[in-house]
Amino acid sequence: MSDCFPPVLFNENVSVSPMQLTGRYNKFLIWRDRHIKERHFLLFVCFLVGILTALAAFFLKTAIHFFQVFLTENFSRPNLNFSYLLYPIVGILVAGLYVKYVVKDDISHGVTKILFAISQRKSRIKPHNIYSSLVASSVTIGFGGSVGAEAPIVLTGSAIGSNLGRFFRLEQRSLMILVGCGAAGAIAGIFKAPIAGILFVIEVLLLDLTMSSILPLLVTAVTATTVSYLLTGTDAMFAFTLIEPFTLNRIPYVILLGILCGFLSLYIIRVMSRLEGIFHRLRLWKRFLLGGTLLSLLIFFFPPLYGEGYNTINILLAGGDLFGSLTNESFFHQLDSRWTIVGFLIMVILFKVFATSATNGGGGAGGVFAPTLFLGCILGFVYSYTLNQSGYAVYLPQENFALMGMAGVMAGVMHAPLTGTFLIAELTGGYDLFLPLMIVSLLSYGTILLFEKHSIYAIRLAKKGELITHHKDKAVLTFLKIKDLLEKDIPTVTPEMTLGDIVKVISVSNRNIFPVVNKEGVLLGVVMMNDIRNIMFRPELYDRFTVKKFMVGPPATIDVHSSMEEVMAKFENTKAWNLPVVNAKGVYQGLLSQSSVFNAYREVLVENYSDTED
């Protein structure tokens, strides 16, 4: 990745003469490094991140609203409108061309990219991510793409934090905190939910936070929320009024809803993963044709799939009989039956996952944040409405259960029960439903954990062994790479070499293990010095024995693409101190020792997880 900042590093222990540097920028960095402690300056940068992320969130919401109003103000109601067939295709085409020919980089899976940047790129996010996701997602969603704006704005926020930290030359641990602050500020800014923003960083980004990092997150989240209040007012994002208070006799139905949310979350993760694999195997234009066609047809038959779906959420949370309007502009609008809306919304639940995958797979840019809220809201409404119409249960307030469904599905899909609970409470002001929100979120999370260990964001990296976790030992291991620790200067020997040849090799080496390879470099075994110690000082045997006679197989071999967690498991199982590394064809790549791994482990632990003060 190209770095747009001057390659000058500063440290309190290094004396840098101003005469060696030019420009006000470098002079400021020297002054800051000498007069302001890192932890104090970090809070100022967090304040800037909060302001910038809130402005980015405001820009994104305004752009999406502009496109939606411009394109839909002439829709005829309640008749079918064939514009639904065209707009989504245009949106993902424009967004796809922008990404392909202007950005020239993959900007999909925003939260996954943040996780990858933290664990594999030392928290460095490319500068174009500050604006590229905003542009692509506003066009995608504004033209009807069935995705959310939250993942793009989270990537934007984290990119702002990462690049500001690099601009001011902050140390590695501060850079990681700023990436988290950017994500927290983005959630706080777009949802006006500071607590949910902080919890999102803890649960979803999986940062191992300490007290020294909580304060920067608070500064950014509160700043972003305040700026958002100034720009858009203090009203909650969704209008919700608690008409029916929660009563204990509804707890059994709340429990069942939580379990249903867990299974719906599993359906979302599994289907999206499958569809993503299908789109990934197609060429660019085939992706666009398949994604655009599928998306436009789904929106044509099920108009609530158009855009983020927040209008549907507001209708279901408003109560009354407004939910009947959801079938407008569809083939179902002329059917007048209480079960028509149930069947219609069940199909919307099933096909929303396909619409979201088609949007991203076809070339659009967006996230699954809004789709999880959308699906959870509909599930909670359909569940309570069906039981109410059946007459087999106590009356279940449909608006309340729609709210609980939002928390449950979000908690399940993102593996984040606290984020789901607090976000829904902050989004709607529904704090009086805190207990049922927590019950549904916890049960949904517990249910999906039985089938899927990782969230929709983390599952891609987990399969590659590149995911950081709250388990500090495993988190540190993700920062280590075999290629960085590989020792390639160990002498190799061939099967035809004699004992005398081996003795000469040993005399100029400080190791006690020597890989045996053939002419193609394929690993055949190893020679252990302890195995030949009793004959290596007998010259009369030097020409009598060859390597082929006393070489042995290694205790284990390590694939060059293995995760460090797998490497440590092999060291533990074999009790070996050194293991050879090979590629997929068995060609020897180098030697890996426990000592080099442990030394690198300690360095990463100090650099990223120490909580010492400047």
**Tens digits of per-residue pLDDT, 363-418?**
888 888 899 999 999 999 999 999 998 877 788 999 999 999 999 999 999 999 99
Give the range among 200-214, 223-237, 444-458 with minimum mean pLDDT. Answer: 200-214
Give the range among 1-15, 35-49, 119-133, 282-296 with minimum mean pLDDT. Answer: 1-15
Let me know: does 184 contact 154? Beta carbons within 8 Å: no
Structure tokens at 317: 């949370």
pLDDT at 336: 60
Which domains, from first to last, does the chain contain?
18-232 (1.10.3080.10), 248-474 (1.10.3080.10), 476-609 (3.10.580.10)
238 has pLDDT over 70: yes
Whole-number Å distance between alpha carbons of 530 and 532: 6
CA angle 597, 600, 601 (to 5 degrees): 80
From the list 26, 29, 2, 6, the residue with the least C-alpha distance to 125 is: 2
pLDDT at 12: 38
Q: In terms of DSSP bridges, do strands 513-517 and 523-528 run parallel, antiparallel, or are they unpaired?
A: antiparallel
527 beta partners: 514
Residues whose CB is less than 8 angstroms from the CB of residue 123 and which lie 6 or more positions away in sequence, other chains included: 117, 162, 165, 172, 175, 176, 178, 179
64 has pLDDT over 70: yes
Let me know: does 526 contact 552? Beta carbons within 8 Å: yes
Structure tokens at 163: 């690049």
Give the range among 163-177, 338-352, 493-507, 528-542 with minimum mean pLDDT. Answer: 528-542
pLDDT at 11: 41
Instruction: Give the chain's radius of gyration (CA, Å).
Output: 29
Please give the residue that has the higher pLDDT: either 570 or 10.
570
Whole-number Å distance between alpha carbons of 156 and 151: 9
| pLDDT over 70 percentage in the chain | 87
pLDDT at 394: 83
Per-residue pLDDT band for 219 (boundaries 50, 70, 90) equals very high
Q: How far apart are the first and last CA of the chain?
A: 30
pLDDT at 8: 40
**Tens digits of per-residue pLDDT, 314-323?**
889 887 777 7
Rounded to the nearest integer, the mean pLDDT of the chain is 83
Per-residue pLDDT band for 20 (boundaries 50, 70, 90) equals very low
| pLDDT over 90 percentage in the chain | 32
Please give the residue that has the higher pLDDT: either 505 or 405.
405
Give the range among 89-93, 196-200, 396-400, 549-553 with minimum mean pLDDT. Answer: 549-553
**DSSP code for 318:** H
Length of the chain: 614
Per-residue pLDDT band for 169 (boundaries 50, 70, 90) equals confident
Identify the residue whose tokens are 């059994």.
252
Per-residue pLDDT band for 612 (boundaries 50, 70, 90) equals very low
pLDDT at 62: 93
575 has pLDDT over 90: no
Helical H segments across 206-250, by residue range:
211-232
426 has pLDDT over 90: no
Average of pLDDT values for 349-361?
Answer: 93
From the list 193, 195, 105, 192, the residue with the least C-alpha distance to 155 is: 105
Whole-number Å distance between alpha carbons of 37 and 57: 31
498 has pLDDT over 90: no
Give the range among 217-231, 421-435, 461-475 with minimum mean pLDDT. Answer: 461-475
277 beta partners: none
Per-residue pLDDT band for 477 (boundaries 50, 70, 90) equals low
DSSP letters spanning 429-469: --GGGHHHHHHHHHHHHHHHHTT-SS-TTTHHHHHHT----
Long-range contacts of 468-472 (CB under 8 A, 24+ apart): 468/115, 468/118, 468/119, 468/206, 468/207, 469/206, 470/206, 470/208, 472/208, 472/605, 472/609
Whole-number Å distance between alpha carbons of 186 and 113: 15
Average of pLDDT values for 286-309?
Answer: 89
Q: In terms of DSSP bridges, do strands 578-582 and 558-559 run parallel, antiparallel, or are they unpaired?
A: parallel
Average of pLDDT values for 150-167?
Answer: 92
Burial of residue 385, with CB atoms counted within 10 A of its CB: 0-12 exposed, 13-18 middle, 19 or more buried = buried
Give pTM, 2 decimals. 0.77
Per-residue pLDDT band for 179 (boundaries 50, 70, 90) equals very high
Average of pLDDT values for 63-67?
Answer: 90
Most confident of 104-108, 157-161, 168-172, 525-529: 157-161
Give the range among 4-18, 34-48, 296-310 with minimum mean pLDDT. Answer: 4-18
